[in-house]
Amino acid sequence: MTFVVVGGGPTGVELAGAIAELANQTLKQDFRNIDTSTAKVLLIEGLDRVLPPFAPELSAQAKTSLERLGVTVLTQRMVTQIDDTSVTIRNGEEIELIPTRTALWAAGVKASPLGAVLAERTAVPLDRSGRVMVKPDFSIEGYPDIFVVGDLACYLPAGAERPLPGVAPVAMQQGNYVARLIRDRLKGQTTPAFRYSDKGSMAVIGQNAAVVDLNFIKFAGPLAWFVWIFAHIYYLIEFDNKLVVMVQWAWNYFTRNRGARIITGLEGNPVQSRAAVAAIAQDSTQV
């Protein structure tokens, strides 16, 4: 009943908030012998605040919202070891052992293995996360017809201190640019240099709780949550998808239904239990 989320960025904040909401609201009446509201959710961040890329005031509001949901926020702690029964963290010279069987990693990801394949066959350099170092047009050194965009690309804009982050707006703009570049090449035309348009950042914490930084304005709370909702719906492909998601989210909002399901009656042989779960999953995909 102890959940440890490692990483206080947007992913970790959203994950910790979702677990706390499930435990304290959605699943509260679903068990006969378990009180899910006694679950402990710990969010661990190595820096001095959650959501480090955001403004300090938004980080403070995010921390308050998390604590209101029942999340324990531990900053300036570094995770040094994770095993089957515990997470070990370090705070300065102090070492603390947190008993848990559920640790969720949200402190960064390793790039796709395709990056290593490209490095092996083209000698293109990779960063420490395994992302491919790309040129300003997103091609790789020595291979002008191989383009890498999105999470697999490590692109450092001129004059910037760090590469562009692996988020959806970056990937979409890079994809649009490379598509335009290829089209222009086929027509014998040149393409202007890529320029990333930063439209701001958002992070959701829980229902009616989010933070939004639109560069020209920063705000948090229910209004930020609704902005986050509509921004995600806006970028969905096709009108019917947008309509379906909007109706489903509205229904979940007013009914407080998070779509959680519990599979029971699978006692006995673990292999048979896993087979039964797989069969249920297969049936649901066919439906």
Q: Do domains 2-108+202-255 and 114-186 have the same CATH topology?
A: yes
How many Cβ atoms sit within 10 Å of the Cβ of residue 64?
Answer: 14
Alpha-carbon torsion angle 17, 5, 149, 169, nearest 10: 20
Domain ranges of the chain: 2-108+202-255, 114-186
Task: Please tell me the predicted confidence (pLDDT) of residue 215.
Answer: 87
102-123 pLDDT, tens digit per residue, is: 999 998 888 999 999 999 999 9
Alpha-carbon torsion angle 247, 248, 254, 259, nearest 10: 180
37-65 pLDDT, tens digit per residue, is: 899 999 999 999 999 989 999 999 999 99
Known active-site residue 94: no
pLDDT in tens for each of the 287 residues of the chain?
Answer: 999 999 999 999 999 999 998 898 878 877 888 888 899 999 999 999 999 989 999 999 999 999 999 999 999 999 999 999 999 999 988 999 999 999 999 988 889 999 999 999 999 999 988 999 999 999 999 999 999 999 999 999 988 888 998 888 899 999 999 999 999 999 999 999 999 998 888 999 988 899 999 989 999 999 999 998 888 888 888 888 888 888 888 887 777 665 556 666 655 555 555 555 555 555 544 44
Task: Please tell me the predicted confidence (pLDDT) of residue 25.
Answer: 82
Which of these is catalytic: 14, 21, 57, 93?
14
Q: What is the CATH number of domain 2-108+202-255?
A: 3.50.50.100
- Amino acid found at 268: G
Task: Please tell me the predicted confidence (pLDDT) of residue 31.
Answer: 82
pTM over 0.85: no
What is the CATH architecture of 114-186? 3-Layer(bba) Sandwich (3.50)
Task: Please tell me the predicted confidence (pLDDT) of residue 284.
Answer: 45
Task: Please tell me the predicted confidence (pLDDT) of residue 210.
Answer: 93
